[in-house]
Amino acid sequence: MELNGVEVEDTFAEAFPIKIARVLITGATKRWALVAAQEATGFGTSVIMCPAEAGIEKAVNGDETPDGRPGAYIQICTFGYKALEEQLLKRLGQCVLTAPTAAMWNGLPNAEKQFDTGFKLKFFGDGFESEANIGGRKAYKIPMMQGEFIAEHGVGAQDGIAGGNFFIMADNQMAALAAAENAVDAIAQLEGTITPFPGGIVASGSKVGFTNYKFMKATTNEKFSPSLKAKIKDTKVPADVNAIYEIVINGLSVEAISKSMKAGIEAAVKIPGVKKISAGNYGGTLGPYKFNLNELF
């Protein structure tokens, strides 16, 4: 099919299960809430070598938060709940508790799985902390140099999906990049998903395994590498394409990821120079979730 004159290939994105914790970080202003959220989700692109995949889901106004201050939802993702609990403790303890004006709230208060991360962090208060009910949430007030840090008792987690994705193929790298930025901006308005890579964008979409280096688990996807299109016989790079960016999306549900893929693709095809939209899959061997691009619209 075509969208704004751009071919959307009849293929699918292949995704896999992951565990996701969701935290709401508030701050004195929107800007300071985002400072904490950004530090807490850094070094969090791929579980291949990062301790977690993490990202900012969506900024929210004060009328949607327990303390009435502006904030942002973040997601932290790992393969199991044990690693997830450790990442929550470390990332919230080191990057949110320490951040100017930040407070932390349960982003999935109705989830079955609940970690008591806020309870654990209260021990930083060394006995000077107190319990409080704020906006209907059980929380702790921890005295500190700046004043107080407010931490809700629990943080909820649930089964989620990692690796939703699509490829943006353009005749020029800057066109592909502007399209990718546009896609990430559009997805950032939506609930339930994150784009964990730098700026939400993957420059180095990979393949599982190797062609030449037997000791590698993931390597460059040479069939989708524009600089190799004349050198590889089974290249998948169209003749008029010189750059490809991938948008990887993690999220709480199939619906959330589908909605974000749709919004991202619609935003990307508006940029002049975008030639084709495709997606990454591994013959169905990587994960049980399949997102058919043409069924999104």
DSSP single-letter state for residue 202? B
Residue number, 159 or 210, with CB nearest to a copy of itself: 210
| Interface with a copy of itself, residue 152, by CB under 8 A | no
Distance CA 93, CA 104 (A): 10
d(CA 78, CA 200): 18
How far apart are CB 220 and a copy of itself at their closest, in Å? 5
- For residues 246-265, which are near a copy of itself according to CB under 8 A? 246, 263
Residue 31 Cβ vs a copy of itself, minimum distance, rounded to whole Å: 8
273 close to 170: Cβ distance less than 8 angstroms: yes
**Considering beta carbons, is residue 19 or 275 the nearer one to a copy of itself?**
275
Tokens representing 35 are 């400072």
The one segment of 9-17, 138-146, 150-158, 281-289 that binds a copy of itself by CB under 8 A: 138-146
- Does 74 bind a copy of itself (CB under 8 A)? Our answer is no
Residue 133 found at the interface with a copy of itself (CB under 8 A): no
118 belongs to the binding site for a copy of itself (CB under 8 A): no
Of positions 163, 245, 257, 296, contacts a copy of itself by CB under 8 A: 245
Q: Which of 104, 96, 84, 87 is nearest to 40 (CA)?
A: 96
With vertex at residue 30, the alpha carbon angle to CA 100 and CA 91, rounded to the nearest 5 degrees, is 50
- Out of 18, 84, 244, 257, the only residue in the binding site for a copy of itself (CB under 8 A) is 244
State how far the Cα of 79 lies from the Cα of 18, in Å rounded to an integer. 5
Q: Is 178 in the site for a copy of itself (CB under 8 A)?
A: yes
Q: What is the dihedral of CA 223, 226, 230, 231, to 10 degrees?
A: -50
Considering the complex, state which of residue 81 and residue 128 has its C-beta at the smaller distance from a copy of itself.
Answer: 128
Site string for a copy of itself, 201-220 (x = CB under 8 A): xxxxxx---xxxx-xx-xxx
Which residues in 78-107 contact a copy of itself (CB under 8 A)? 89-91, 93-102
Whether the Cβ atoms of residue 77 and residue 67 lie closer than 8 Å to each other: no
Question: What span, in angstroms and rounded, lies between the C-alpha atoms of 56 and 25?
Answer: 10
